Every structure is written in C-alpha cells, then in structure tokens.
Chains A and B, each alone.
Chain A
Amino acid sequence: MKNTIEFNDSNFDKEVIESDIPVLVDFWAEWCGPCKIIGPVVEEIAGEYSGKVKVGKVDVDHNPNTAMKFGIRSIPSLLVFDRGSVAEQVVGAVPKKNITDVLDRVLNSK
C-alpha cells in the first residue's frame, strides 16, 4: 500500500503549508537515479510515522513552481515543513537514519 501523498503546485499550500502536523516532502523526478534509491525509503518512513508526520512527493518536472519557490537545485531534496515553514532540509540519497533523525528532531522540538 502506498503511504505517500502526491503534492503538486495546486495542492501544496493546503496539504503542506496549512498542515497541522509536520510534513516530509520528497522532491524528485523520473530521470533521477538517486531519487529511485530514496523513494522506497521515504515510502517506508511514511508507514512508520503515520499519524505523526505527513509524507508526500513533488515531481519537479510537473510542478516547477513549488520546486522553484523553495529553491530546489538538487534532487533528491527532502524538506521537512513544520507549521508552514521549512524546519529541516536533507539533500541527496542519504541513509534512512539521517532522515528519521531529522524527523525525530522536529517532533521532539514540540
């Protein structure tokens, strides 16, 4: 089962910026090798953090405005949004623990 949500230029504000819980956003594209590595990891995290963190993906090919707005210049880029702004950012296909550490930090800061 798919645990991640598709974010796009039109639903981004509603789903991410206005979210009550932190949101992990994976900026990716079909042609990006490292994105394919991180994809399943993000999916796993979505399952494990269900209810605590909303997890979704932005395809930069089809949603250039959102990518540009947050200054994405490298993918995969993982941004953690908390109360409408970027709390943390991870660039590149990093091991799962790097991502969960960042999420735990945001969750524990509450």
Chain B
Amino acid sequence: MISKVIIIGSGPAGLTAALYAGRANLNPIVFEGDQPGGQLTITTDVENYPGFPEGVLGPELMDLFRKQAVRFGAECYFKYVSKVEIHEKPFKVWVGDKQYETDTIIISTGASARLLGLESENKLMGHGVSTCATCDGFFYKEKHVIIVGGGDSAMEEAIFLTKFAKRVSVIHRRDELRASKIMQERVFNNPKIDIVWNAVMVDIEGTQVDGVKAVILRDTLSLETRKFACDGVFLAIGHNPNTSVFRGMLEMDKQGYIIIKNGSTKTSVEGVFAAGDVADHVYRQAITAAGSGCMAAIDVEHYLQS
C-alpha cells in the first residue's frame, strides 16, 4: 500500500502537519523518532505558546498536540526512520527492516543538542554529563555543576540548576554572552552562578561509576589549560539539525539544515517537504515550527491535487 504522506518527526511541526493532513483525509503516518514530542519534552514551563496565558508544561503541550492529531486519523508510531529513498516515486521509507511507500514526505526531524565531540563526553553521557538540565538537575543537590554555553538556553538551564546545585559555573568561550539582556541580568544577579570567561572545555575526568570529578579548561587567550573541579557537566552549546538520513539527497546549507523554497516548505525534491527546526536555524520556536508544519500539510495537499 502506498501512503499519501509520511511525516518523519513528532515535535510541534510534525504533529501540526499530522493534524492538518489528517483533517484533509490524507491518513498521515507519523514516525515519531527517538524523542516523541521533540525538544519540548525536555523543557518545563512553556510561557510563550499563545493560548496558554498561565503557561503550559512542555511534555503536556506535546501530549495535547498528539491527541489532536490522532483525533483526526493520524497514526503515530514510536519508531525511528533509518533510511529513505527519494530519487523515484513512490518514495521509500525504512523503519528497521520494514519498508513503507509513500507519495509525499514531510521532514520534521528537528534538531538535537550539539556535543563537543570529546571521547570522555561520550563515555560519561548520563553519568555526570548531560544535555538536559530539567531531567538531570535533580541528581546534583548541593553539588557544584558547570554549564557550557553562552546563549539563552544556557542561561535558562543555569538558573534552573540553582534550584538544586549549591554552585553553577557557566563556562563560556568568549568575554561576553550571546544571551538576551534579560537572561544575562538574571544570571548576573544570581548569587549561586559564576561565569568563567574565555574558556573552552577540552576534557572531562571521571568514571561511569563515580561520575564526573573535574574538567580540563583551556583559556582561549593564554591557551593554558587547568583542572576545574566539579560534579556534573551540562551542555548547552546549540543544536544540530537531524538530517543525516537525508544527506546527499536534498539541498542543505553548510550546517546541514534543509533548504526550503521561499515562502513554502518545498525542498529541492518535488514531493518532499520540510518543516520546523530542521529547516530553520533562525526562529526555532514551537509556534513557528507549528506554523510551518501546517504549511507543509497544505503544500502536500496542493501537490497531491496537481
């Protein structure tokens, strides 16, 4: 059987596309990936999604999105797409050994936390190294943790971590933060937070059993390295688009974001559409992702009619 549309990814973009495609009787299939609900599922309060004047919890919001899409016939599977073929119609999508055929694809795979690429970082992930302060902050009560990064999410996480940790050190590679003024002020005024300027983390010391003991920091000016004791490492150094499955098949920019045609969600391959953070490194908001998900479903409808 050939599906009309397969949606890959289940954040605000994917689930909004599913809602609209469902209402258009396209019987969308959603492969949710390894993080159903997307990045919002590891946040706490979402205060900037319109319609929720008191704010809403990220995981709850995504649960509502999903229910609404399912109500109109979307089929959502907690499965990961491992391979696609889009050079001829119908397109093919693989989930493990199972192959699906479809007339159109909406790519809404989003972006994932960027890592530094250190061997020690990989070894200690989940054992003292984390990309999710809201998930793991709890385990650092009265501890000293560091957060690597200088943007709004780094500041947000630093502030969140002070609920548990006795001290939070922000490690930043420049001498000023990229974060918005309001977030900077909150951080500067928080007595539990200190900032280590002009420093990059080059190694992490610890074991999977005992966790992190220290990190090695290199001063970006003097290039000298030093040991900095801490109990946990949180990374907030930006995101990478989840596009490895599509590499070489679609036009992407240097960072791997999918390039879409102005004012639409059309990619360089007819019948393949992209929505949300996977094609947007500028706005990256739940509401913009949802908006583009809606556009993608409408683009699919038009494409199938023509």
Distance between Cα atoms of A54 and B232 in the complex (Å): 32
What is the 8 Å Cβ interface bit string for chain B, positions 78-100, against chain A (1 contact, 0 not)?
Answer: 11100000000000000010000
Which residues in B have their C-beta under 8 angstroms from that of A31? 44, 134, 138
* Closest A residue to B208 using CB positions: A71
Which secondary structure dominates where chain A touches chain B? loop
Our pick among B78, B134, B210 for the contact of A71 (Cβ within 8 Å) is: B210
In the complex, are the beta carbons of B210 and A74 less than 8 A apart?
no
Give the shortest distance, in Å, between A56 (CB) and chain B (any CB): 20
Distance between Cα atoms of A74 and B79 in the complex (Å): 23
Which residues in B have their C-beta under 8 angstroms from that of A34? 35, 41-42, 132, 135
Give the shortest distance, in Å, between A13 (CB) and chain B (any CB): 20
Which residues in B have their C-beta under 8 angstroms from that of A41? 78
The interface size bin for chain B is: 20 to 34
Give the shortest distance, in Å, between B139 (CB) and chain A (any CB): 5
Give the shortest distance, in Å, between B292 (CB) and chain A (any CB): 23
Our pick among B34, B44, B79 for the contact of A94 (Cβ within 8 Å) is: B34
A49-83 at interface with B (beta carbon < 8 Å)? 60-61, 67, 71-75, 77
* Closest B residue to A44 using CB positions: B78
Given contacts A33-B135, A36-B59, A41-B78, contact A73 B211 (CB under 8 A): yes
Give the shortest distance, in Å, between B286 (CB) and chain A (any CB): 14
In the complex, are the beta carbons of B80 and A95 less than 8 A apart?
yes
A42 within 8 A of partner (CB): no
Which residues in B have their C-beta under 8 angstroms from that of A5? none
Which residues in A have their C-beta under 8 angstroms from that of B135? 32-34, 74-75
B26-58 at interface with A (beta carbon < 8 Å)? 34-37, 40-44, 58
Q: Which A residues have a C-beta under 8 Å from some C-beta of B?
A: 29, 31-34, 36-37, 41, 60-61, 67, 71-75, 77, 91-97
